[in-house]
């Protein structure tokens, strides 16, 4: 055993983000002093990014089971049954810190990483979404210019990787708040399809079975990435570019095809992507899931650079790499498959029954660590929580505290804001039609939809979160994110089935942030349980703060739903002239943390209403069933900006005007954001049936106008279609390209 004397142990621990208590614990586990390789391994595996040490306490108790769930949290991705022997495999991950430091590569490798999580399970990726948060992009300040640079870099990185892989990016969301000025969020979602009985898992079992490294060679890129992602930002952080991985989508495309070819054989016992913490996390996770041990000879790992050390091999986060546990005797056949695809493949070790990870370097043992304690004894922190004082300061704010603004003026301001306008500048850089299965493409509003050729069904998916809601009430805000994402899916005619989440929060060492996190988790648990949409996979991203300023709580939720007939996908924009427009649900005058309050008064505050899950369930059921019966022409949920913005977006997208008249107790309520509402477009001959169906379900329904014409009118608001479409489709490009 190599005994590297560790001098200046305090400095070594500080560099690896380990405490003195951690060090004592490591010595107890090993029964001796650790060497540098072992310190590096413990540092990576016990980082926030890999161990969830601050969050694990609150993640326990998420609803994770349902008759359609095949695999819940704990594997590379979640899996649900979508009928006829087919399964959908999906997950969402964050790549926040790398994308702020180096936007192109950070975002690109975020896409690459999530795609590997999907095809590692044996699924071919068929759809990507993204959930993006940026700071202030308006104006000529240094901050705004930098944020626009980040927008352009991130979008280019996402497009570049996804397009090269031949996986369509079919939708997503993007919003802007000043809290993201120092810490943007880049959350990537991917979904793949597989046979339900051909799912592969990340395990290493069977004594003597070979451990095979495949994919790209290992370099020094990404060293310290997992640890970097587990720390806050300062001005020094921009110097951390070496910790950002460099992606090669062309290699990953080869890796995808090689893996899918391999999966047609019976050679694979288990397979794991090398993501954060690289070879360390993949080997320990595979052995840990199986209760086995492993021997690895690190000099056999294909290297991209000269003079690499065992420490660097174990902690590199070079992209496009996998670790395979194979059946003994299949080694040459596997190597041949990867050689055919011009990829590296090398037998680097074997499975043992010792329960230990034994690492060798040219015959010398350089690490010997029991597997279980690395994951099972990772610190689980019970961090202090404290309700933020600011909540009391903002709770009583209402729109009545401010001078009234005429509805026309309010509408003109809100329809042109970056949160509302069409983001075609973004999605036109993504190939959304490759694979030719996209039915509801980017910019179509609400959910995005792909058909499943194998069973004639369609999968709808949507990512959503309103950070302003979460800022004023993390519990209700997170619950509403589940409902909004599910409502989007229902608006396409699909039944919501399950979620994956990406929980983005500030510094967990701040008790107020931990309180926000705990409450958001409770909100997700309650909403998922009430709506029968279990959590099947997810990710936690903490330390999203810069110079002590935390982001708003941002628990991004991606919902996946199933439409039994791919030819019954419901649009979210108006479809014809002289159809009736109906409002579903009850309007209660909710302006807490609304777009109206932000855009008109520069304020975020108020109290969110109690959540009526039964009302939400009735809305979903109504739209899904009415669509199955062919009663609806289109459906659009009412969300940010209220009824006025929902109608305007539906009109702008279709090019068809609308004439809306309805009475509220306050004329400003056309902008209210009461949840559990939608507008539906119905042909005259179907009105009676639609009304009866709503009544049977106890759902409030009212006729508010008709489609058609060359203008949009909503009570005292009016705009011609030409002006509306110019604003809606032309604004974002002007903003984001003004520096070029």
Catalytic residue among 16, 25, 95, 97: 95
Q: For 602-673, where are the alpha helices, taking DSSP H only?
A: 613-628, 642-654
Cβ atoms of residues 186 and 95 within 8 Å? yes
Decide if 97 is catalytic.
Answer: no
Give the burial class of 391: count Cβ atoms within 10 A of its Cβ; 0-12 exposed, 13-18 middle, 19 or more buried. middle
Q: How many CB atoms lie within 10 A of CB 272?
A: 27
Beta strand extents in 441-579 (DSSP E only): 448-452, 457-464, 495-504, 535-541, 545-546, 549-550, 554-563
Give the Cα separation of 671 and 153 in Å (integer). 34
CA distance readout (Å), 368 to 21, 32, 385, 500: 21, 11, 37, 36
Q: How many CB atoms lie within 10 A of CB 4?
A: 14
- Who contacts 170 (Cβ-Cβ below 8 Å, separation ≥6)? 127, 128, 129, 432, 438, 440, 441, 442, 448, 449, 450, 461
Give the Cα separation of 383 and 90 in Å (integer). 31
Give the Cα separation of 101 and 112 in Å (integer). 17
Decide if 95 is catalytic.
Answer: yes
Q: Looking at the chain, how many residues does it have?
A: 740
Sign of CA dihedral 339, 344, 346, 351: negative
Find the distance separating the first CA and the last CA of the chain, reported in whole Å: 58
- CA 585 from chain center: how many Å? 29
Catalytic residue among 49, 149, 362, 441: 49
Q: How many helices (H) and strands (E) does the chain have?
A: 25, 28
- Who contacts 454 (Cβ-Cβ below 8 Å, separation ≥6)? 84, 86, 193
Cβ atoms of residues 342 and 285 within 8 Å? no
- CA 105 from chain center: how many Å? 18
Residues identified as active-site: 49, 95
């Amino acid at each position: 055993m190599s005994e590297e004397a560790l001098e200046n142990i305090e400095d070594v621990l500080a560099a690896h983000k380990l405490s003195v208590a951690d060090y004592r614990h490591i010595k107890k586990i090993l029964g001796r002093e650790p060497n540098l390789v072992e310190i590096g391994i413990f540092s990576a595996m016990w980082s926030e990014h890999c161990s969830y040490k601050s969050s694990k306490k609150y993640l326990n108790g998420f609803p994770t089971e349902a008759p359609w769930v095949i695999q819940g949290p704990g594997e590379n991705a979640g899996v649900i049954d979508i009928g006829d022997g087919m399964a959908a495999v999906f997950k969402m991950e964050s790549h926040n810190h790398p994308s702020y430091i180096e936007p192109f590569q950070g975002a690109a490798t975020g896409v690459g990483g999530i795609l590997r999580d999907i095809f590692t399970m044996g699924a071919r990726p068929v759809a990507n979404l993204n959930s993006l948060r940026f700071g202030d992009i308006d104006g000529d300040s240094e901050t705004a210019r930098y944020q626009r640079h980040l927008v352009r870099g991130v979008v280019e990185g996402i497009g570049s990787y996804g397009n090269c892989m031949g996986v369509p990016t079919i939708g997503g969301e993007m919003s802007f708040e000043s809290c993201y000025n120092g810490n943007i969020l880049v959350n990537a979602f991917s979904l793949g399809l597989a046979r339900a009985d051909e799912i592969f898992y990340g395990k290493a079992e069977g004594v003597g079975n070979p451990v095979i490294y495949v994919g790209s060679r290992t370099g020094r890129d990404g060293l310290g990435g997992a640890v970097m992602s587990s720390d806050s930002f300062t001005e020094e952080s921009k110097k951390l570019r070496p910790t950002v991985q460099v992606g090669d989508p062309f290699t990953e495309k080869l890796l995808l095809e090689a893996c899918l070819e391999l999966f047609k054989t019976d050679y694979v016992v288990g397979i794991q992507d090398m993501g954060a913490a690289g070879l360390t996390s993949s080997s320990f996770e595979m052995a840990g899931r199986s209760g086995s041990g492993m021997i690895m000879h690190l000099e056999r790992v294909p290297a991209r650079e000269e003079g690499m050390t065992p420490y660097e091999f174990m902690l590199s986060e070079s992209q496009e790499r996998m670790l395979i546990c194979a059946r003994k005797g299949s080694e040459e056949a596997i190597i041949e498959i990867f050689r055919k695809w011009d990829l590296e493949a090398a037998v680097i070790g074997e499975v043992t029954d010792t329960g230990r990870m034994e690492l060798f370097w040219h015959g010398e043992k350089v690490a010997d660590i029991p597997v279980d304690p690395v994951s099972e004894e990772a610190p689980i922190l019970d961090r202090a929580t404290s309700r933020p004082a600011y909540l009391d300061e903002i709770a009583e704010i209402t729109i009545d505290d401010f001078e009234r603004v005429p509805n026309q003026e309010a509408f003109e301001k809100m329809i042109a804001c970056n949160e509302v306008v069409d983001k075609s500048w973004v999605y036109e850089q993504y190939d959304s039609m490759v694979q030719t299965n996209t039915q509801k493409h980017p910019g179509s509003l609400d959910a995005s939809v792909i058909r499943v050729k194998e069973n004639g069904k369609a999968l709808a998916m949507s990512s959503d979160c309103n950070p302003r809601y979460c800022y004023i009430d993390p519990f209700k805000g997170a619950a509403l994110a589940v409902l909004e994402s599910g409502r989007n899916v229902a608006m396409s005619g699909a039944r919501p089935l399950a979620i994956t989440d990406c929980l983005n929060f500030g510094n967990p060492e701040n008790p107020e942030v931990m309180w926000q996190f705990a409450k958001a988790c409770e909100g997700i648990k309650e909403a998922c349980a009430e709506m029968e949409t279990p959590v099947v996979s997810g990710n936690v991203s903490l330390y999203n703060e810069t110079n002590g300023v935390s982001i708003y709580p941002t628990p991004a939720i991606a919902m996946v739903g199933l439409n039994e007939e791919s030819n019954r996908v419901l649009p979210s924009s108006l479809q014809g002239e002289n159809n009736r427009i109906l409002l579903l649900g009850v309007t209660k005058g909710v302006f807490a943390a609304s777009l109206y309050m932000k855009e008109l008064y520069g304020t975020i505050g108020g109290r969110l209403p109690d959540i009526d899950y039964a009302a939400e369930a009735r809305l979903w059921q109504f739209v899904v069933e009415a669509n199955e019966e062919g009663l609806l022409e289109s459906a659009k949920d009412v969300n940010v900006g209220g009824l006025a913005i929902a109608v305007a977006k539906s009109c702008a997208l279709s090019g068809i005007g609308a004439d809306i008249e309805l009475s509220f107790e306050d004329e400003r309520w056309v902008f209210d954001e009461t949840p559990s509402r939608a507008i539906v477009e119905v042909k005259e001959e179907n009105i009676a049936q639609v009304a009866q169906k709503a009544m049977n379900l106890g759902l409030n329904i009212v006729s508010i106008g008709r489609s058609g014409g060359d203008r949009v009118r909503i009570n005292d608001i009016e705009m011609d279609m030409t002006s509306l479409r110019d604003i809606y489709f032309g604004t974002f490009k002007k903003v984001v390209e003004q520096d070029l």
